[in-house]
Chains A and B, each alone.
Chain A
Amino acid sequence: MASAGGRRGFDRARQKGHHGSAMGRPRVVVVKSSAVWTPAGTLDPAVLARMFARGLADLTGERDSAQAAAAIFRPGERVGIKVNTIGGRAISTRPEVARALAAWIAGGGTAGRDILVWDRTSRELRDAGYAISTGRSDVRVFGTDAGGAGYENSLTDHLDVGSLFSRILTEFVDASVSLAILKDHGLAGLTAGMKNYFGAIHNPNKYHDDGCDPFVAQVFDAPPVKSRHRLTVVDALTVQFHRGPSYHARWAAKFGGLIFSRDPVAADHAGWAVLERLRRDAGLPTLEAEGREPSYLRTAERMGLGTSAAEVVETVVGAGP
Chain B
Amino acid sequence: MNRRSFLRGAAGAGLALGAGLPAVRLRPAASPAGPSPSQVEARYYVKLPDREIECRLCPRSCRLGDKERGYCGVRENQGGAYYTLVYGKACTLNVDPIEKKPFFHVLPGTTALSMATAGCNVNCKFCQNWEISQVRPEQVDHFHLSPEAAAAKAVSSGCPSIAYTYSEPIVFFEYMYDTARQARSRGVRSLVVTGGYVNPGPLADLLGVVDAVKVDLKGFSEGFYKAYVRGALGPVLETVRAVAASKVWLEVVYLVIPTLNDRPEDLRAMARWLHDTAGPDVPVHFSRFHPMYLMKNLPPTPVSTLEAARETALAQGLRFVYIGNVPGHEAESTVCPGCRQTVIRRLGYAVDTSRLKKGQCASCGTAIPGIWA
Interface residues of B: mostly helix, strand, loop or mixed? loop
Which residues in A have their C-beta under 8 angstroms from that of B230? 206, 209
In A47-64, the 8 Å CB interface with B consists of 49
B260 within 8 A of A: no
With A103-B10, A248-B50 already in contact, the answer to whether A136 and B23 are too (CB < 8 A) is yes
CB-contact partner of B70 in A95, A104, A205, under 8 A: A205
What's the least CB distance linking A129 to chain B, in Å? 5
With A130-B1, A244-B65 already in contact, the answer to whether A112 and B10 are too (CB < 8 A) is yes
A113 touches B26 (CB 8 A): no
With A96-B1, A146-B24, A205-B73 already in contact, the answer to whether A137 and B6 are too (CB < 8 A) is no
Which residues in A have their C-beta under 8 angstroms from that of B15? 102-103, 106, 111-113, 115, 138-139
The interface stretch among B131-139, B184-192, B323-331 is: B131-139
Give CA–CA (A104, B23) in the complex, Å.
Answer: 24
A86 touches B138 (CB 8 A): no
What's the least CB distance linking B240 to chain A, in Å? 24
B5 within 8 A of A: yes
In B1-39, the 8 Å CB interface with A consists of 1-7, 9-27, 35
In A199-256, the 8 Å CB interface with B consists of 202-203, 205-206, 208-209, 243-248
B3 touches A132 (CB 8 A): yes
Give CA–CA (A88, B66) in the complex, Å.
Answer: 10
With A136-B18, A203-B134, A205-B72 already in contact, the answer to whether A106 and B25 are too (CB < 8 A) is no
B50 touches A113 (CB 8 A): no
Task: Give the interface centre of B12, B65, B123, B294 by most chain A CB atoms within 10 Å.
Answer: B65
CB nearest to B80 among chain A residues: A246
How many A-B residue pairs have C-beta atoms within 8 angstroms? Tell me: 165
A246 touches B67 (CB 8 A): yes
B interface footprint on A69-91 (CB within 8 Å = 1, 0 otherwise): 00000000010000000111000
B17 touches A208 (CB 8 A): no
Count the A residues whose beta carbon is within 8 Å of the partner chain — how many? 60
With A162-B125, A206-B134 already in contact, the answer to whether A88 and B7 are too (CB < 8 A) is no
Give CA–CA (A137, B18) in the complex, Å.
Answer: 5
With A99-B6, A99-B9, A113-B19 already in contact, the answer to whether A87 and B14 are too (CB < 8 A) is no
B25 touches A146 (CB 8 A): yes
B51 within 8 A of A: yes
What's the least CB distance linking A215 to chain B, in Å? 11
Which residues in A have their C-beta under 8 angstroms from that of B67? 86-88, 246
B69 within 8 A of A: yes
B20 touches A111 (CB 8 A): yes
With A148-B25, A203-B134 already in contact, the answer to whether A138 and B71 are too (CB < 8 A) is no
Give CA–CA (A244, B64) in the complex, Å.
Answer: 10
A114 within 8 A of B: yes
Give CA–CA (A113, B11) in the complex, Å.
Answer: 11
B interface footprint on A139-174 (CB within 8 Å = 1, 0 otherwise): 111100111110100010100001000000001110
Which residues in B have their C-beta under 8 angstroms from that of A139? 6-7, 10, 15
Give CA–CA (A133, B9) in the complex, Å.
Answer: 13
Give CA–CA (A116, B18) in the complex, Å.
Answer: 14
In A23-70, the 8 Å CB interface with B consists of 45, 49
B68 touches A245 (CB 8 A): yes
B372 within 8 A of A: no
B144 within 8 A of A: no
A121 within 8 A of B: yes
With A131-B5, A172-B22 already in contact, the answer to whether A107 and B69 are too (CB < 8 A) is no
Give CA–CA (A171, B139) in the complex, Å.
Answer: 19
Give CA–CA (A102, B27) in the complex, Å.
Answer: 25
A interface footprint on B97-132 (CB within 8 Å = 1, 0 otherwise): 000000000000000000000000001010000000
Which residues in B have their C-beta under 8 angstroms from that of A140? 21, 24
Which residues in A have their C-beta under 8 angstroms from that of B56? none
A134 within 8 A of B: yes
With A130-B1, A145-B27, A247-B66 already in contact, the answer to whether A171 and B22 are too (CB < 8 A) is yes
B293 within 8 A of A: yes
A122 within 8 A of B: yes
Which residues in A have their C-beta under 8 angstroms from that of B71? 205-206, 208-209
Task: Give the interface centre of B66, B125, B135 by most chain A CB atoms within 10 Å.
Answer: B66
16 further A-B contacts with Cβ under 8 Å, apart from A103-B10, A138-B7, A157-B294, are A78-B20, A104-B13, A114-B20, A122-B27, A130-B6, A131-B4, A131-B5, A133-B6, A134-B25, A139-B10, A142-B26, A148-B24, A162-B125, A205-B72, A209-B71, A247-B66
| A–B pairs, 29, beta carbons within 8 Å | A78-B20, A87-B67, A96-B1, A106-B16, A112-B15, A112-B16, A131-B5, A131-B7, A134-B24, A134-B26, A136-B19, A137-B18, A138-B10, A140-B24, A145-B138, A148-B22, A148-B24, A151-B139, A162-B125, A202-B139, A203-B136, A206-B73, A243-B65, A244-B65, A245-B68, A246-B50, A246-B51, A246-B68, A248-B50
The 8 closest A-B pairs by CB, nearest first: A112-B15, A103-B13, A131-B3, A246-B65, A148-B24, A113-B20, A147-B25, A162-B294
